[in-house]
Each structure stands twice: as structure tokens, then as C-alpha cells.
């Protein structure tokens, strides 16, 4: 009747589960009796630095004699030094890399009162329990979100951008940008991954001779990316002078759930919640799905302009006045540093040359060109 073994160390005892079920169903624990419970892992096709497991926990319970169903989504997070991806890093880089990826931020966000301070139109899942499993891992038990599959048309992107602007500009949100107490800057990213991995690859002729890269990117794009890589420090310094605000950190459509019963979006995955230069969340909103091959780049120019204006209006709605030209420049710098320089598909250079890889490389090249053009236009 009870099999939650799939949770591993993220499981709780029956008394704790009963209390969470009571909270979820709005009942008193003494009126709730567990009948059944099971745990089923969630398949996920994208690599994750700090997420060890995602699990559905479902079951039944009696509440004052009446049988009720319950569902939880359990997210098991850990320090990324325990991940397979970290183990693949060269040993000389591991000490620095260990400091640059937060894992405690998400549990702390769910323990906070951030959900009470989100701008109208934004929600986050209700956490029924947050448990520290050891010094390097935690589990978050949260409600099921009745998300629906929708088309991300231009209007939806604009709505999301407007709300992300409000998120960044809201005075009520300001304290929660640092809820993770994580010491991180743009420089930490550029001095780490970009300096030691990405930019050296741009200057490696063998990379550009690979047929996947040579066909999609070509010599002109290679030279432009190398020129930007050479200006890495100047771009970083400039971006760090820009005004800042709260940032989700990974506001791609996959992390902005749409539900049929409420307007707006339910935000998930707060691992990179932080204070960032204004416009930071526009990057993943616009290009996150293109990077992983879920969306093409053909409408990127129009979406980018519409979302920039909507984000700017969202900031203004929260009383933040910033010239549109300055916001555009901040967005261009961020897009170049966090997307443009990393577009060469290094992770796909092994194995056979497939049509899928060629399509992805072509879209990555389009992202590189868009990032470079935007940077040139705002310089």
C-alpha cells in the first residue's frame, strides 16, 4: 500500500507525510489517515547541474472519513560537486567551479515569503515541506501545478516579458533576489566558464575545421565571435555598471508554466534566482528554446524588440525609470556573454554528423549572428 522507495533519501516518514497531506487538503492532521502512497520518477531529457531527482508522489487518504487523492512533486537538489557533469571538469578547474553554481537558493526561496510578494500575474508552487537531507542536499515537496500545453505566440512572450520586468522592478521583490545568500557576479561567470572553456575553444582552429561548425558558422562568423571573445573583460565590466534588480535567472518558457484556471505564469526552478543587471531574464525567455532546438530563430528579431519594450513597460509599472537605449545595451551585453559566445555546439562535435545536429548548429549560428548584430547596433 506504500512504496516510496523511488524517493531514496528524499523520502519522509508517514507522520510527516500525513501532516503535509493535511496541509495540502486544508485539514487537521488528526483528521487525516494515510491509505496508500507511491513514488514515480519523472523523466527529464535536459541535463541538470544541481537536480538529482524529480518525483511524483501520489496516494489516497481519508479526511474525516472521506477518501481523498493527493499529489506532490518532489525535487531533490544537491551541490553540483556531486553531479556527473562536475566530475567531467578538468581537476584544475573544479575548485573554482564548485563556488560558481548555487544549489541552496531554491530551497531557501521556497522557505521564504517570496510567494506573498510576487507581482500580480506571477505565482510559484506552494511548498508543503523543505527538508535538509545532509550538508549538501535538500528536498522540496510542493503542490502539483495543473499546467497546460500552450502555443508561445508573440502575445504570450510579450506578457511574460512584461511580468519579468515587474519582477525585476518590484520593491517588494528586491530582498528576495539575495535569498540564496550566494556571492555571485557576472565576472564570476566570465572569469570561470567563458575564460577557461568557451573562449579558448573559439580560438581553436580544430573546432572551426569540424564540418558541423564550418558548414553552419563559416569564416565571417568565426572572426566576429573571436573579436567579441577578445573583448570579454570590457563587455563584462560594462554590464556590471548597469542598474540591477531581482532576476529569476533561467526564465525560459519551460520554467514559466501556464495553467487553465489562472492568468499569467507559475514560475518554477529558482536555482539561479539572484540580483542581476536589468534585462537579464530577457535572454533565456527569447533564446532558451532556440538553444536546445525546441524553437527556430526565424522570428527572433521581432520577438526581441517586442519583449524588450514589454519588459521596459513592466519596469515602469513598478516605478523603475531606465532609458530604453540603456536597457537595450544591457540586454545586448548579457546576450553576448551568456549566449552568443557559447553558441558553437561543442557538445555535439563527437559522433556522426546527423541532420538533427546540422539543424541545431544552423540555429545556434543564427543566435550568434543575432547576438553580434544587437551588440554592434547598441555600441
Supply the DSSP symbol for 42: P
Cell of 12: 519522509
Paired strand residues for 66: 63
CB 128 within 8 A of CB 72: yes
Total Cβ atoms within 10 A of residue 3: 11
Residues 6+ apart with CB under 8 A from 208: 214, 217, 219, 222
**Crossing angle (nearest 10°) for helices 324-338 and 280-291:** 40
Q: Which pTM was predicted?
A: 0.93
Q: pLDDT tens per residue, the chain (379 residues)?
A: 899 999 999 999 999 999 999 999 999 999 999 999 999 999 876 667 788 899 999 999 999 989 999 999 999 999 878 877 777 777 776 777 777 778 899 999 999 999 999 999 999 999 999 999 999 999 999 999 999 999 999 999 999 999 999 999 999 999 999 999 888 899 999 998 899 899 999 999 999 999 999 999 999 999 999 999 999 999 999 999 999 999 999 999 999 999 999 999 999 999 999 999 999 999 999 999 998 888 999 999 999 999 999 999 999 999 999 999 999 999 999 999 999 999 999 989 998 999 999 999 999 999 999 999 999 999 8
Report pLDDT for 43.
83
CA distance 149 to 53: 23
Other Cβ atoms less than 10 A from the Cβ of 374: the count is: 22
**Looking at residue 1, what is its pLDDT?**
83
Q: pLDDT value at position 89?
A: 72
Q: What is the pLDDT of residue 373?
A: 97
C-alpha atoms less than 13 angstroms from C-alpha of 308 in its C-beta half-sphere: 19
pLDDT the model gives residue 252 = 96
* Cell 534588480 sits on residue: 245
Q: Are 327 and 308 in contact (CB under 8 A)?
A: yes
Question: Phi/psi of residue 221, each to 5°?
Answer: -65, -35
What are the φ and ψ backbone dihedral angles of 70, each rounded to 5 degrees? -140, 155
Residue 24, SS3 per DSSP: helix
Cα torsion 107, 111, 113, 118: sign: positive
Query: What separation, in Å, do the N-terminal and C-terminal C-alpha atoms of the chain show?
Result: 64
Quick check: 277 and 242 in contact, CB under 8 A?
A: yes
Can you tell me whether residue 293 is helix, strand or coil? coil
CA distance 234 to 210: 30
Amino acid at each position: 500500500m506504500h512504496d516510496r522507495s523511488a524517493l531514496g533519501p528524499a523520502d519522509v516518514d508517514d507522520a510527516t507525510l500525513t501532516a503535509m497531506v493535511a496541509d495540502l487538503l486544508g485539514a487537521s492532521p488528526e483528521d487525516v489517515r494515510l491509505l496508500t502512497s507511491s513514488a514515480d520518477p519523472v523523466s527529464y531529457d535536459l541535463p541538470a547541474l544541481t537536480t538529482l531527482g524529480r518525483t511524483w508522489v501520489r496516494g489516497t487518504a481519508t479526511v474525516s472519513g472521506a477518501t481523498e487523492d493527493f499529489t506532490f512533486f518532489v525535487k531533490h537538489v544537491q551541490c553540483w560537486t556531486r553531479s556527473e557533469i562536475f566530475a567531467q571538469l578538468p581537476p584544475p578547474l573544479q575548485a573554482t567551479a564548485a563556488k560558481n553554481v548555487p544549489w541552496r537558493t531554491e530551497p531557501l526561496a521556497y522557505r521564504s515569503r517570496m510567494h506573498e510578494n510576487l507581482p500580480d500575474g506571477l505565482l510559484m508552487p506552494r511548498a508543503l515541506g523543505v527538508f535538509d537531507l545532509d550538508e549538501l542536499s535538500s528536498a522540496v515537496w510542493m503542490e502539483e501545478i495543473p499546467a497546460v500545453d500552450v502555443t508561445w505566440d508573440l502575445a504570450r512572450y510579450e506578457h511574460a516579458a512584461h511580468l519579468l520586468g515587474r519582477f525585476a522592478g518590484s520593491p517588494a521583490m528586491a530582498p528576495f533576489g539575495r535569498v540564496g545568500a550566494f556571492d555571485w557576479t557576472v565576472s564570476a561567470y566570465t572569469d570561470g566558464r567563458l575564460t577557461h572553456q568557451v573562449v579558448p575553444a573559439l580560438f581553436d582552429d580544430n573546432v572551426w575545421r569540424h564540418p558541423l561548425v564550418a558548414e553552419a558558422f563559416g569564416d565571417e562568423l568565426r572572426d566576429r565571435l573571436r573579436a567579441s571573445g577578445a573583448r570579454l573583460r570590457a563587455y563584462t565590466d560594462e554590464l556590471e555598471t548597469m542598474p540591477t534588480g531581482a532576476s529569476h535567472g533561467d526564465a525560459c518558457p519551460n520554467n514559466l508554466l501556464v495553467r487553465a484556471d489562472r492568468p499569467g505564469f507559475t514560475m518554477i526552478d529558482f536555482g539561479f534566482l539572484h540580483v542581476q543587471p536589468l534585462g537579464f531574464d530577457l535572454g533565456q525567455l527569447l533564446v532558451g528554446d532556440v538553444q536546445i532546438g525546441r524553437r527556430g530563430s526565424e522570428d527572433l528579431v521581432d520577438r526581441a524588440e517586442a519583449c524588450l519594450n514589454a519588459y521596459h513597460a513592466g519596469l515602469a509599472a513598478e516605478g523603475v525609470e531606465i532609458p530604453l537605449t540603456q536597457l537595450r545595451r544591457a540586454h545586448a551585453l548579457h546576450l553576448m556573454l551568456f549566449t552568443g559566445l557559447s553558441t558553437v555546439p561543442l557538445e555535439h562535435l563527437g559522433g556522426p554528423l546527423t541532420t538533427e545536429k546540422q539543424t541545431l548548429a544552423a540555429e545556434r549560428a543564427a543566435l550568434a549572428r543575432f547576438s553580434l548584430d544587437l551588440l554592434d547596433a547598441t555600441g
